[in-house]
Amino acid sequence: MDEALRDEADNLMLLCAQQHTEIDAKATQDVFTVAWLRRLKQEHEDRIRHVTGLGPDRATTVVRMLGSVHGNAVELSRQTAANAVTACHRFPLFLESYARHGVEINLQHTPGEGSAAAGSASSAAAASRSYYRQAVQVIDDVIRHQLRPGIERGSVQHVSVFGFARLPLLVYLGLRLDDTVPTDIYQRHRPEQSWVWPAESGPVTEFAVRPVQGGQDGDEAVVIMNVSGAIAPHEVPEELADLRRYEISPTNAATCPDILRQCASLRCLEDTLRTFFARLEAEAKTLRRLHVLPAIPMSAAVALGRAHHPQVHPQLVIYERLAGSYVPTLEVGQVTG
């Protein structure tokens, strides 16, 4: 190549001395071919162009909550979260002034984590209540001492939430997040084993609320969320049998564990939840407690908490399937009056 052409940006590749030695060696010329080097250069330039093209308004503060479900945990590292938000055309802020991990709610060392659901339904429920009291305190401490000061200073203007934990705690996390700060919720997708939202294609899953039982016009009701799975009528606890009952379910798709394949489907579910709470506020003014039986993905649990206003809406009693039965494990919000 002409010497003048070698110095043009399209033909220039800057390497450290050790890499130069390895790539320029005659023995490796068949390995580090011109085509391979050009592809490597192009991929690197595309990535840098993408990252540097994101303006300050595309910054997001990453919040990760790490727990276990039925004794199982998943990989949710700082880098995993960063890759997911970058795929959504944002760049991650980890608030390094707090810790090298950023805003991290680590429940993995909470006493009872991974074992609270063992034993009979009654013993598992008792163990869960003890566990939840401590886990809620962990969440509150991180929100109060890390995330809230950043919001008040104005350094947190957008939040990206990643959560892998038991459903009631994810609902509580959603409730504790500031509703005035724009928030993206991420979902772990089983087929890809990834937190990156797949490219949106095909119809968006829509949801609806329907009454399935009139029941008493008292101060309590039940909502069954059949989203990722289906809760059969006989699985509803006997003490809830006479209460008004609602069901939230998809209208244009069957329930399945990976039903939220698109971010737009999650937004549709959150809109449905907000409409449902507004309806209760207008039509069921005496309602003070809503028993929630959730068969939902983890991202939907966070969305449920974000849709609930504790000063306006009925208290949520979140149930969990323990030892084959649905039992109440966490109360979210306050009973007024």
For residue 210, the model assigns a pLDDT of 95
Report d(CA 163, CA 80) in Å as an integer. Answer: 12
For residue 162, the model assigns a pLDDT of 97
For residue 337, the model assigns a pLDDT of 39
Tokens of 111: 């006493």
pLDDT digits (tens, 9 = 90+) for 304-337: 999 999 889 999 999 999 878 999 999 988 654 3
- pLDDT averaged over every residue in the chain: 87
Q: Does residue 253 have a pLDDT over 90? A: yes
pLDDT digits (tens, 9 = 90+) for 117-149: 455 666 666 777 788 999 999 999 999 998 998
Rounded mean pLDDT, 207-225: 89
Percentage of the chain exceeding pLDDT 70 = 90
What is the residue-wise DSSP string for 46-98? HHHHHHHT--GGGEEEEEEEE--BTTB-----HHHHHHHHHHTT-EEE--TTT
Of 72, 81, 75, 87, the residue nearest 101 (C-alpha): 81
Percentage of the chain exceeding pLDDT 90 = 51
For residue 235, the model assigns a pLDDT of 95
pLDDT digits (tens, 9 = 90+) for 55-96: 678 889 999 999 988 777 788 998 999 999 989 888 888 765
pTM of the model: 0.81
CA dihedral angle for residue 101, residue 103, residue 108, residue 114, rounded to 10 degrees? -140
For residue 112, the model assigns a pLDDT of 76
Higher-confidence residue of 220 and 101: namely: 220
SS (H, E, C) 104-163: EEECCCCCCCCCCCCCCHHHHHHHHHHHHHHHHHHHHHHHHHHHHHHHHHCCCCCEEEEE
